[in-house]
Amino acid sequence: MSTTPDVQKNLSKQERVAYIDRRLGELYPDTPVPLDHADPYTLLVAVLLSAQCTDERVNQVTPELFARAATPSTMAELSVATIRGIIRPCGLSPQKAKAIKRLSELLLADHDGVVPVSFDALEALPGVGHKTASVVMAQAFGVPTFPVDTHIHRLAQRWGLTRGRNVTETERDLKKVFAEGRWNDLHLQIIFYGREHCTARGCDGRICEICRTCYPLRKHAKITRKP
């Protein structure tokens, strides 16, 4: 039995939302966090390292890092140079090393060594922006968020879910159309689908299953706004 609507027209926005929600749930019923971690602190560090770096590369680097320091107290004892030497393959290592050491010190000084369950407190830490804080709040603490990176931003535009000019506007639009209880899973399901089927070069808005189902009459490549 076909899992896609039998249509001869582009779907309405309401139809697109319902189809995307259902189809992603079918394709990815389990949504494991792709970054290897053991607790909120190691997840925070891993997400920070993932900026402009693949999850695969981060997962290659963190075993050595966490073997040396897997808590704020042990990380704070390492020198910036030592941290940088371990995380160098992730890129931006000078900035990331300084941020990891300093945020570890601040967790000890201001939060008793515990990752805070607060957007404001997380975003006040060095190297932690809204997207990183959102991932930690969602995946470590189960707080409904909808972290949006450049990949989700691209797919949301291809699927007609947003006209956002940046990730902030796209996050707002996605939260409006999907049920809050689905936000955390959808964040990962969209990432998984994008990597597998709707990549930056592998689909232009007319090739993958979801793009073809949502817009069967689309004749030209979808030009997406970069955030």
Out of 141, 166, 182, pick the residue that ends a domain: 141
* Model pLDDT, residue 43: 98
CATH no. for residue 105?
A: 1.10.340.30
Q: Is residue 1 part of a domain?
A: no
* Model pLDDT, residue 156: 97
Separation between Cα atoms, residue 189 and residue 88, nearest integer Å: 29
Question: Is 110 annotated as catalytic?
Answer: no
- DSSP structural state of residue 88: G
Question: Is 219 annotated as catalytic?
Answer: no
* Model pLDDT, residue 84: 97
Out of 141, 160, 195, pick the residue that ends a domain: 141
Domain shared by 122 and 62, yes or no: yes
Query: Span 207-226, mean pLDDT?
Result: 92
Q: Residue 20, CB half-sphere, CA atoms under 13 Å: how many?
A: 32
Separation between Cα atoms, residue 211 and residue 86, nearest integer Å: 40
Query: Span 83-93, mean pLDDT?
Result: 95
Domain shared by 103 and 45, yes or no: yes
**Domain encompassing residue 122:** 40-141
Domain shared by 152 and 206, yes or no: yes
Q: Is residue 85 part of a domain?
A: yes
If we measure between CA atoms, which residue out of 54, 23, 18 comes closest to residue 36?
54
For the chain, the average pLDDT equals 94
* Model pLDDT, residue 3: 54
The crossing angle, in degrees rounded to 10, of helices 40-49 and 55-68 is 130
Domain shared by 75 and 136, yes or no: yes
Active-site residue (options: 96, 101, 131, 173):
131
pLDDT at 55 over 70: yes
* Model pLDDT, residue 223: 84
Q: CA 45, 142, 71 angle in degrees (round to 5)?
A: 30
Query: Span 222-226, mean pLDDT?
Result: 81
Active-site residue (options: 101, 149, 173, 185):
149
Residue with tokens 């957007």: 119
- Beta-carbon neighbour count of residue 72 at 10 Å? 25
Q: Is residue 153 part of a domain?
A: yes
44, 26 contact by CB (below 8 A): no
* Model pLDDT, residue 1: 46
Out of 120, 141, 162, pick the residue that ends a domain: 141
| CB crowding 206-220: b at 16 or more within 10 Å, else e | eebebbebbbeebee
**pTM greater than 0.85 (yes/no):** yes
Q: Is residue 18 part of a domain?
A: yes
CATH no. for residue 163?
A: 1.10.1670.10
Q: Is residue 4 part of a domain?
A: no
The crossing angle, in degrees rounded to 10, of helices 130-141 and 183-196 is 110
Domain shared by 75 and 162, yes or no: no
pLDDT tens by residue, 107-154: 999 999 999 999 999 999 999 999 999 999 999 999 999 999 889 999
Q: How many domains are there within the chain?
A: 2
pLDDT tens by residue, 169-191: 999 999 999 999 999 999 999 99
Q: Is residue 226 part of a domain?
A: no
